[in-house]
Chains A and B, each alone.
Chain A
């Protein structure tokens, strides 16, 4: 197994200069804690459930907000549960949507049971074959910084896999009230519908 990045540092690097135009949807569990640890923001829509739904929330949001950019940053287990959504997104090809998978090869929340990626399931290959224009393996700090830059300038649907260590940093728990999370997100965007 090649070198793996540390998840909290990886999230911090990706969002170091996020600006007001980047909207972030993490998956439930570890990526939600990672996002909270990187700094709370009204433009974060934390998930505490809806496993398999993060990428599709990102799609609906990206289509509704074509002038913003949307980053879904989720885990391998959450992505695997919604694998079909990569096919759905591949058909729509929104240029302002990035799906980033923090892949530690295990289901961390439930006791580190091995996930399918540990046996060689190739998420980057799946995304490429689903029609994602840009597909990246991000294996080092320079790659993370490059990805952070792309999140500011992207014009094509992007998929990135970030291999991370299977560790469990102390949990940073954000707001859990879904209505509060929804309202503050919409207020930050100034939307009414």
Chain B
């Protein structure tokens, strides 16, 4: 399949729709701007802008209690804000699907992004999350599908990590 370099947010959106996601929580993020736009424009998805990412962990738990599926979009810096709130998902086995855009790893101009960006994978592992890391556009959809299956099929935490190499500069200067 020939996937255009900038198509991957649309592929992610299609995956969220196929998965029956009804609530999408996010803290605005340049790397996710296209996906956020698609969610905001969709009548079947409630888009919920958060003041901090940990709100989204609690939101997703509430959604599942009420029988709906949620997804949480964030950039890597936001992961650190979530760590204690993950105890909600871990203690109750709430499904938690996170799509995380990376900062601080490739062509990063802001050194303050590096401390959190550099510990994303070990933090997720310590929090018992399954990690699906992608750096090529054609890998995005398959990874997201696997994450959806794991998260909602088994009521677990899963994170699709969208590398900075994937996001590149195209999205940021559009």
Interface on A for B, CB 8 Å cutoff?
A: 23, 25, 45, 47-65, 68, 82, 84-85, 87-88, 91-92, 178-179, 181-182, 185-186, 189, 191-193
B106 to A: closest C-beta gap in Å: 31
User: Could you tell me the distance between the alpha carbons of A151 and B64 in the complex, rounded to whole angstroms?
Assistant: 22
Question: Which residue on chain A has the smallest CB distance to residue B69?
Answer: A193
Given A53-B85, A53-B88, A178-B91, A60 contacting B58 (CB threshold 8 A): yes
The binding surface of chain A is classed by DSSP as: helix
User: Could you tell me the distance between the alpha carbons of A48 and B65 in the complex, rounded to whole angstroms?
Assistant: 16
Given A50-B85, A57-B58, A191 contacting B66 (CB threshold 8 A): yes
User: Could you tell me the distance between the alpha carbons of A192 and B94 in the complex, rounded to whole angstroms?
Assistant: 13
Residues of chain A contacted by B68 (CB below 8 angstroms): 60, 63-64, 193
Interface on B for A, CB 8 Å cutoff?
A: 20, 22-23, 46, 48-52, 54-70, 84-85, 87-88, 91-94, 152
User: Could you tell me the distance between the alpha carbons of A186 and B68 in the complex, rounded to whole angstroms?
Assistant: 11
Find out whether the CB atom of A59 lies under 8 angstroms from the CB atom of B62. yes
Residue of B20, B49, B51 with most chain A CB atoms under a 10 A cut-off: B51
User: Could you tell me the distance between the alpha carbons of A181 and B152 in the complex, rounded to whole angstroms?
Assistant: 18
Find out whether the CB atom of A60 lies under 8 angstroms from the CB atom of B61. yes
Question: Which residue on chain A has the smallest CB distance to residue B46?
Answer: A63
Cβ 8 A contact of A179, one of B49, B67, B93: B93
Residues of chain A contacted by B66 (CB below 8 angstroms): 23, 60-65, 68, 189, 191
Residues of chain B contacted by A59 (CB below 8 angstroms): 48, 59, 62
Residues of chain A contacted by B70 (CB below 8 angstroms): 60
User: Could you tell me the distance between the alpha carbons of A184 and B46 in the complex, rounded to whole angstroms?
Assistant: 26
Find out whether the CB atom of B49 lies under 8 angstroms from the CB atom of A64. no
B132 to A: closest C-beta gap in Å: 21
Given A88-B49, A191-B67, A60 contacting B92 (CB threshold 8 A): no
Find out whether the CB atom of B65 lies under 8 angstroms from the CB atom of A185. yes
A-B pairs with beta carbons under 8 Å apart, 11 shown: A56-B58, A56-B62, A59-B48, A60-B59, A62-B66, A68-B66, A85-B58, A88-B49, A178-B93, A191-B67, A193-B68
